[in-house]
Structure 1
Amino acid sequence: MSRKRVGPIRRPRLRTAAVAAALLSAVLTACSGSAPAATHAAGDTEQHKERAATVTVTPHGGRVTAGEPVRVTAKGGTLTAVTVAGPHDKALTGTLSADRRTWTSDRNVVPGASYTVEAGTRTPGGTTGRSESSFTTAAARKVNKVDWRPGDGTTVGVAQPISLVFDNPVTDKAAVERQLKVTTSDDTEGSWGWLTDYSGRDRVDWRPREYWRPGTEVTLDARLDGTDSGRGGWFVRDYQASFTVGARQVVKVDLDRKQLTLQRDGRTVRTVPVSGGTPGPDTGSWRGTAVVLAKEGTVRMNSETVGLGDAYDETVHDSIRLTWSGMYAHAAPWNAAFFGRANRSHGCVGMSDADAGWLYSQVRVGDPFEIKGSEAKGTVAPNNGFGDWNVGWDQWRQKSALR
């Protein structure tokens, strides 16, 4: 009987293009999207193949809550690039961690917006990958708005604070204050302070430690879009304003001597006789530092609007508003007999037509009126106009929510 040699059976190798692609590729996953990783060279062996890094993006999904930054994290590798496209195709900038594994946006995501996140990765072995995901934020149920002073592009006096008054209550004051940035051309020292405005609304002012230096250029960058003010609702826009500080002008009012002096750059420009408020809790003038709020020109002043019954109803010229409670410096020709002699007004600082016209032409919004005298009825409150300067510096800093 003849013998047959029996050897190992050789099976043919099956290597179709589809199988080869499946073996040579890896899937890079993300929260809501994925893309294939780069393939290895054909000569690579099985043991040298590795998957691309995994990318996680927060927030993710639909109708997520706004008010937090975008965070992109790589596991099994590092991030090579991150792009976040927000509403109106505006990109969010961000910061990459030192180990290149985490990227965090500089801004919080805003309500009612869609975002697309693209991330590139690389593993220690050199495998690169790309991930794309998207998410949307829920719309704001309530919106908070801001009125601010001074106006953009203005020139103001040396006592002008930056002031923001909010339409709705701000219960998370620290979150709001963190988004407020003041930049000055000479590194002016200053601080935010929270107040209840004379209108009853929440308000925050930034004032320098001392009066501004003339010529200082100031920029407010209120990056509030996407910030939750608490029960007052969301902010849905940013606010920016730039202004310049003018000459150092200080108006000094001495109620005891019944005179007003304008000083510019420390030199007396002119002194005029005046008549302040009749001594008393209702009619006296305020002492302390008041700040020019507005140059209102011709104003009809009615005593009923300030709780003084029918004491007066006059059309007044060259009116310079100093407080929200109704103290002005203005022309008061009906009081001419008392200029320089007695305080006989209903709280305002009155002077002749000629002197009022001259003063009106000289002062600007933000100039301080430093008022003193034994016949004053009290000190201007911080919220009554810009009485911020009647609070000591240490006490003012305590009004910051970030102290």
Structure 2
Amino acid sequence: MAGAALLAAALTACSGGSGGSGGSGGGDAKGGEAKKKDMAISVNLTGDQVKAGEPVKVTLADGKFSLVKVTDAKGGELPGRISDDGRTWTSERNAAPGAEYKVEAQNTDSQSASAQFRTTAADKVNKVAIVPGKATGGTVGIAQPISLVFDNPVKNKAEVEKQLKVTTSNNTEGSWGWFKDYSGNDRVDWRPKEYWKPGTEVKVQMNLNGVDSGSGLFARDYNTEFKIGKDRRLEVNLDTKTMSVIEDGRTVRTIPVSAGTPGGKKASWSGKMVLMTKEGTIRMDSQTVGLGDSYDKMVDYSMRVTWSGMYIHAAPWNAGKFGRVNSSSGCVGMSDADAEALFAQAQIGDLVEVVGEGSKGQADIGNGYGEWNLSWEQWKAKSALNGAPQAG
């Protein structure tokens, strides 16, 4: 192989026939068997300054492989497979940056050979922010997607998506979809075809170590796991100025609310959204969301619905408007008592749907979790792998 070092492992010569000694290669019918050639392998990556981000390929000079093992200094093994002709082994994953590897091989004649190489550190590392993560407590609502946001652009979207695996306890069908996050960064989410079924257990493996994103290598793998909790849906009706709390298909509470003021920037977003975070008591400043000096106050029982600042929260200053007038600056406000009770019940990932007249339309897909506003066919088309769905 061009540019590859040829590595031979010295082996003990085969014993000769009766009264003979090891042959030297020509073969002698009277003196014994011919000496076998030493096993020789070549590796596409050799030396101490190897660039990471490509598969490891091991080639046998003669004969067939019976075993090839490539391990890093921590004992981690690169998975791979031997070709049909037995002459080549190729890793299924790329060599990771800043790692030492040992190659050990055997052929069908029980001979062995080995090699070593060291990869250089990545010039630029791409990292991932993952939701759901530890902050969710391990249980989320039926509308929560899996969401990955990258700190550097992902140009090789198909190569990255191939390394993402979702496994569920009930073979949930879903698909990855690429778009821009509200931050402007590249983002890929995995959404089920339908809302999650309560009790579903989900594991996500992101085998990204050594994968080239097109603007930096990944330098580690990632994983997360979570479980789906109660089927809870929060439906805000702008016409009736109420929020219905629906659990397992049954309305358990109806809360008088005051949503965003119709007809301008202070209107509420509409459509299907997801309860993103439960932030509790926070400072809300209208200047941070482009609404001038409208407000600057501490707000209790705050639950985020969009990155742009739409919340569900307590709004005691608006008590006379609940159930009567939509007059907030875009959020859905209610009494302290109702907000406290809802905050205690609600879970991250619950569906939030706003219906009725007077909204400012649907938020962009990356402004929170807006993928539920797309049809299944529209969502699948956002996959980098030809829109092919995955069964988890």
Task: Provide the TM-score with structure 1 as the length reference.
Answer: 0.88
How far residue 338 of structure 1 moved from its aligned partner, in angstroms, is 1.3
Query: Residue 91 of structure 1: SS of its match in structure 2?
Result: coil
CA contact (8 A) 1:36 1:129 kept: no
Listed as ranges, the matches of 1:217-296 within 5 Å are 217-231=201-215, 233-296=216-279
**C-alpha distance in structure 2 between counterparts of 1:103 and 1:32, whole Å:** 15
Is residue 396 of structure 1 aligned with residue 382 of structure 2? Answer: no
Partner in structure 1 of residue 161 of structure 2? 177
**C-alpha distance in structure 2 between counterparts of 1:91 and 1:355, whole Å:** 54
**C-alpha distance in structure 2 between counterparts of 1:179 and 1:215, whole Å:** 26
Query: Residue 175 of structure 1: SS of its match in structure 2?
Result: helix
**C-alpha distance in structure 1 between counterparts of 2:75 and 2:316, whole Å:** 61
Is residue 39 of structure 1 aligned with residue 13 of structure 2? Answer: yes
1:111-146: CA deviation from partner (whole Å, max 9, x where unpaired): 122211111113xxxx54221111221221111111
How far residue 31 of structure 1 moved from its aligned partner, in angstroms, is 2.8
Partner in structure 1 of residue 68 of structure 2? 82
Partner in structure 1 of residue 389 of structure 2? none
**C-alpha distance in structure 2 between counterparts of 1:93 and 1:37, whole Å:** 27
How far residue 90 of structure 1 moved from its aligned partner, in angstroms, is 2.4
**C-alpha distance in structure 2 between counterparts of 1:67 and 1:343, whole Å:** 55
CA contact (8 A) 1:224 1:239 kept: yes
CA contact (8 A) 1:289 1:380 kept: no
**C-alpha distance in structure 2 between counterparts of 1:341 and 1:359, whole Å:** 20
Matched length: 369
CA contact (8 A) 1:38 1:128 kept: no
**C-alpha distance in structure 2 between counterparts of 1:358 and 1:323, whole Å:** 21
CA contact (8 A) 1:32 1:133 kept: no
**C-alpha distance in structure 1 between counterparts of 2:222 and 2:16, whole Å:** 56
Listed as ranges, the matches of 1:117-266 within 5 Å are 117-122=103-108, 127-152=109-134, 154-231=138-215, 233-266=216-249
How far residue 323 of structure 1 moved from its aligned partner, in angstroms, is 0.4
Aligned equivalent of 2:363, options 380, 393, 399: 380
How far residue 56 of structure 1 moved from its aligned partner, in angstroms, is 2.3
Partner in structure 1 of residue 57 of structure 2? 71
CA contact (8 A) 1:330 1:356 kept: yes
- Identity, in percent, stands at 54
CA contact (8 A) 1:169 1:229 kept: yes
Partner in structure 2 of residue 351 of structure 1? 334
Q: Residue type of the partner of 1:294?
A: T
Q: Which has the larger radius of gyration?
A: 1
Query: Residue 360 of structure 1: SS of its match in structure 2?
Result: helix
Segments of 5+ residues of structure 2 without an aligned counterpart are 28-32, 387-392
1:220-239: CA deviation from partner (whole Å, max 9, x where unpaired): 111111111112x1111111
Q: Residue type of the partner of 1:361?
A: A
How far residue 32 of structure 1 moved from its aligned partner, in angstroms, is 4.8
**C-alpha distance in structure 1 between counterparts of 2:306 and 2:360, whole Å:** 14
Q: Residue type of the partner of 1:220?
A: V
**C-alpha distance in structure 2 between counterparts of 1:381 and 1:220, whole Å:** 25
CA contact (8 A) 1:52 1:128 kept: no
**C-alpha distance in structure 1 between counterparts of 2:361 and 2:73, whole Å:** 52
1:97-123: CA deviation from partner (whole Å, max 9, x where unpaired): 34433222232111122211111113x
Aligned equivalent of 1:337, options 320, 333, 336: 320
Q: Residue type of the partner of 2:340?
A: G
Partner in structure 1 of residue 352 of structure 2? 369
Cα 1:32–1:75 shift into 2, 3 Å: closer
How far residue 76 of structure 1 moved from its aligned partner, in angstroms, is 2.6
Aligned equivalent of 1:113, options 96, 99, 110: 99
**C-alpha distance in structure 2 between counterparts of 1:357 and 1:309, whole Å:** 29
Partner in structure 2 of residue 320 of structure 1? 303
1:179-210: CA deviation from partner (whole Å, max 9, x where unpaired): 11111111111111111111111111111111
Query: Residue 334 of structure 1: SS of its match in structure 2?
Result: helix
Q: Residue type of the partner of 2:101?
A: Y
CA contact (8 A) 2:62 2:87 kept: no
Query: Residue 221 of structure 1: SS of its match in structure 2?
Result: strand
1:154-193: CA deviation from partner (whole Å, max 9, x where unpaired): 1000000111111111111112111111111111111111
Query: Residue 92 of structure 1: SS of its match in structure 2?
Result: coil
Partner in structure 2 of residue 302 of structure 1? 285
**C-alpha distance in structure 2 between counterparts of 1:56 and 1:86, whole Å:** 18
CA contact (8 A) 1:250 1:367 kept: yes
**C-alpha distance in structure 2 between counterparts of 1:386 and 1:339, whole Å:** 27
CA contact (8 A) 2:142 2:196 kept: yes
CA contact (8 A) 2:8 2:41 kept: no
How far residue 333 of structure 1 moved from its aligned partner, in angstroms, is 1.3
How far residue 52 of structure 1 moved from its aligned partner, in angstroms, is 4.3
CA contact (8 A) 1:70 1:104 kept: yes
How far residue 274 of structure 1 moved from its aligned partner, in angstroms, is 0.8
CA contact (8 A) 2:9 2:38 kept: no
**C-alpha distance in structure 2 between counterparts of 1:155 and 1:375, whole Å:** 34
Query: Residue 278 of structure 1: SS of its match in structure 2?
Result: coil
